[in-house]
């Protein structure tokens, strides 16, 4: 038993610490995955992507983030190999926060340099150009929202496992385990116990379906110098991200049946824990791979896309602090991020604030329901 506990602790620590370098890799490569007309959240001519000064700024950012990632990974690995769970967890929590803060802080620092350089170079758009793509060939789009109906069978299976195995559940069900494999918290068995995993799956399904909907409703950017090609690139990017979202969400929803099986005693809580962390790593790695292949908004799909030496559009004024889009004249609720992989919101639209409030209410209701049932 002691050997199993030691093996479990080592496995969990290794998986946990691995999340730090994976997150660090994403922050390191972010500037190189953006559309070439955007450097540190500043609009520049497409040809400026090869500007020596701007490329040097990207390399400096990458070096600083790589250094921070290496230090955090080394400390976390030391904690994992010595069995110091407290140190490993501290690196995970504090380290992930430091990576996010460090990445954003460096983005703001280099953004100020790019803005100054842009002014020196006289890069400005005399008029805003926009395009619409019309043709016989269909542009790729995100997969249908109907794919989220696949969560319903998972919820049904989760409830079925709980109902069938309810009689075999112990009166006190293990709920939480430390890194040494020792159970630290239990919950009492009640007829409502089987609802907890199903509620978790339903909440995951709601979050993933909303994220999927934002992709479908997002503004579709295009490059005026290569409208058809850029529209195709973005469509391929959106499709790949939506497939990843559906696949990752469905994989994550398997947590429901796994929880029910652990309640019954078919699998141990330690096996369930290893499954969850391993699954998280697989999803993170999948996200990194898709990001590296497609780039933000499909920027890496066609590396030889026609580049313009003129600045055809400039909406820097609408991007507050580089990442917050605020444009009352834009009817779009969602649009691709300026620094990072994914989508953001137009904070000037009242509907966005209503959506955020509804999300907060849903989250509070979910937590309250789970706490009541437990």
Of the candidates 332, 366, 363, 335, which has an alpha carbon nearest to the alpha carbon of residue 349?
Answer: 332
Enumerate the domain spans of the chain.
Answer: 1-122, 138-374
Q: Which residues contact 150 (CB under 8 A, 6 or more apart)?
A: 246, 250
**For residues 74 and 78, what is the distance between their CA atoms, to the nearest angstrom?**
6
pLDDT in tens, 76-85: 888 777 767 6
How much is the pLDDT for 307? 56
Q: What percent of the chain has pLDDT over 90?
A: 39
Mean pLDDT of the chain: 84
How much is the pLDDT for 4? 47
pLDDT in tens, 318-370: 999 988 999 998 889 999 998 989 999 999 999 999 999 999 998 888 888 87
pLDDT in tens, 118-162: 999 888 865 454 444 444 456 788 999 999 999 999 999 999 998
pLDDT in tens, 219-243: 887 776 667 777 888 889 999 999 9
How much is the pLDDT for 334? 92
pTM confidence score: 0.84
Cross-strand partners of 186: 174
Relative to beta strand 42-43, strand 38-39 is: antiparallel
Structure-token match 């701007």, residue found: 54
Residue 5 pLDDT > 70: no
**For residues 187 and 195, what is the distance between their CA atoms, to the nearest angstrom?**
13
How much is the pLDDT for 310? 63
């Amino acid at each position: 038993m002691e050997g199993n506990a030691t093996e479990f602790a080592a496995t969990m620590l290794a998986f946990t610490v691995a999340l730090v370098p994976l997150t660090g890799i994403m922050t390191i490569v972010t500037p190189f995955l953006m559309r070439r007309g955007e450097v540190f959240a500043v609009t520049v001519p497409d040809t400026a992507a090869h500007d020596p000064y701007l490329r040097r700024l990207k390399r400096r950012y990458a070096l600083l983030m790589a250094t921070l990632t290496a230090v955090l990974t080394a400390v976390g690995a030391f904690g994992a190999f010595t069995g110091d769970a407290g140190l490993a967890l501290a690196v995970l929590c504090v380290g992930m926060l430091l990576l996010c803060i460090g990445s954003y802080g460096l983005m703001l620092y280099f953004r100020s340099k790019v803005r100054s350089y842009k002014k020196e170079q006289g890069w400005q758009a005399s008029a805003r150009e926009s395009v619409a793509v019309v043709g016989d060939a269909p542009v790729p789009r995100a997969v249908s929202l109907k794919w989220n109906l696949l969560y319903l069978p998972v919820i049904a299976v989760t409830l079925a496992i709980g109902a069938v195995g309810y009689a075999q559940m112990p009166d006190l069900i293990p709920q939480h385990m430390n890194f040494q494999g020792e159970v630290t918290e239990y919950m009492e068995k009640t007829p409502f116990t089987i609802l907890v995993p199903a509620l978790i799956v339903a909440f995951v399904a709601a979050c993933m379906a909303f994220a999927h909907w934002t992709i479908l409703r997002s503004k579709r950017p295009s490059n005026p110098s290569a409208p058809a090609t850029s529209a195709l690139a973005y469509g391929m990017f959106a499709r790949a991200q939506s497939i990843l979202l559906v696949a990752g969400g469905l994989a994550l929803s398997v947590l429901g049946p796994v929880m029910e099986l652990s309640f019954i005693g078919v699998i141990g809580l330690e096996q369930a824990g290893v499954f969850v962390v391993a699954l998280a790593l697989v999803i993170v790695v999948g996200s990194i791979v898709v990001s590296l292949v497609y780039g933000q908004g499909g920027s890496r799909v066609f590396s030889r896309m026609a580049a313009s030496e003129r600045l055809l559009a400039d909406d820097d004024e609408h991007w507050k602090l580089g990442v917050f889009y605020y444009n009352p004249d834009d009817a779009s609720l969602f649009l691709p991020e300026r620094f990072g992989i994914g989508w953001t919101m137009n904070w000037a639209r009242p509907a966005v604030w209503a959506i955020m409030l509804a999300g907060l209410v849903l989250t509070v209701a979910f937590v309250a329901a789970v706490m009541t049932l437990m």
